[in-house]
Amino acid sequence: MKFNELPIHPSILKNCQRMGYTTPTKIQQKAIPPVLEGRDLLGLAQTGTGKTAAFALPILDQMMKQPQKGKRAIKALVLTPTRELAIQIVDNFQLYGQGLPLKTVVIFGGVKQGAQVDQLKKGADILIATPGRLLDLVGQRLLDLSQVEIFVLDEADRMLDMGFIHDVKRVSALLVNKKQTLLFSATMPKEIAGLAASLLKNPVRVEATPVSTPIEKIEQRVYYVEKSEKNDLLLRVLKKEEVTSALVFTRTKHEADRVVRFLTKGHVQAMAIHGNKSQNARQKALAAFKNHEIQVLVATDIAARGIDIEKLSHVINYNIPNISETYVHRIGRTARAGQEGIAISFCQNDERAYLKDIEKLIRYTIPVVKDPKAKTTAQPQAAESKTVVSPVQASTSPANKPAGHRPARRRRPAHAQKSREAVK
């Protein structure tokens, strides 16, 4: 199937052609036709599958078929968990809808609301929003959602991680004229399955794995290290390895700040992005990293979601993620477009169960590297040879999981049952 075969408005197809789109991705092929038919949709799709176009293109098409008369009223609402994702989505809508008589507005927290309110007063057809700012403006009677017909919930599992599920339900209850709901999630924990059941009516279910090519290769390594030694190890790795740019993932925003302070004292240029940073600070840090003004960007998973960084030489997992799929998402940010990349993980004793889950998911034993200066009691054999793995091999699709594999989200070591620290 080619894009020009889709029953979409010619101007939208022309914009897609201008952007170099020729063949729809799997999620686009599966999702666009039922969305055009007005069906509710449950999409299991991760970052990198082309899911934004999968809902943006049919929404724009439907809006063009029902031109509004008089003052603009919001007809489509896209709810997304982070400011970065909201900005990325509105940029895509504007590219796909270039030249169309439609207006898309974005609202998010972390900045003063004045400019956003002014945009809303001028009218909008499509609204991209984060839950907090949306409900704030509704509470102030500065936003009318009574005419919304299409509701898109993007990154639903991240909404769950961030504690936004109750806000999502509140928003949905405000959409009294809603006719169609589209829900996208990279994973399907029971809470999201329950949410989907409550929001969707006879939905079409589609699934797609991230787009990757066989030549993309990632060298993976893991160090066994005590928690107290991680900072020193990180500094040694950054100075010893040929690191041109490294994205370091931490579990919490406070840990991200601590790591940046330590690296700065060690004369390594680093900045952090996370939920406590202002929008301007986050954009400044990302720009500095992309322009190679700093060597290291330290981020939480949620803050980094949706950020595309080219020519990233290293991904470093300061913590082993407690959700196995998150590991795949993280390391997939390096070795893009045929570039070489390295993924290094630091594993402390109480994270070893998470590491085993990851290895079971990707069906690959990650080589262990022994740190001569480490004080940890574990002394695994060091990996002698370079081993590479393609993101395709690390796919989280059911077909690539070993028989009998249970999702890692439900498997945690005993010590973590009562005190699991949420990814922030």
pLDDT tens digits along 184-225: 998 888 899 999 999 999 999 998 865 443 334 789 999 999
CA distance 340 to 217: 6
Which residues 6+ apart lie within 8 Å of 149 measured at CB?
75, 76, 177, 178, 179, 180
CA distance 337 to 309: 11
Is domain 217-416 classified as CATH 3.30.1330.40? no
DSSP string covering 26-78:
HHHHHHHHHHHTT--EEEEE-TTS-HHHHHHHHHHHHHHHS---SS----EEE
pLDDT tens digits along 375-402: 654 444 433 333 444 333 333 333 333 3
Q: Phi/psi class of residue 326: alpha, beta or left (left: φ > 0; alpha: ψ in -120 to 50)?
A: alpha
Q: Which CATH superfamily is domain 3-208 in?
A: P-loop containing nucleotide triphosphate hydrolases (3.40.50.300)
Do 3-208 and 217-416 come out as alike in CATH topology?
Answer: yes
Any idea where the domains of the chain sit in the sequence? Answer: 3-208, 217-416
Burial of 387 (0-12, 13-18, 19+ CB in 10 A): middle
Average pLDDT value for residue range 113-121: 96
Average pLDDT value for residue range 397-414: 38
Closest alpha carbon to 173 in 145, 208, 192: 145
pLDDT higher at 269 or 377: 269
pLDDT tens digits along 288-316: 998 899 999 999 876 676 566 777 889 99
In what helix (H) or strand (E) does residue 299 lie, and over which residues does it extend? strand 296-299
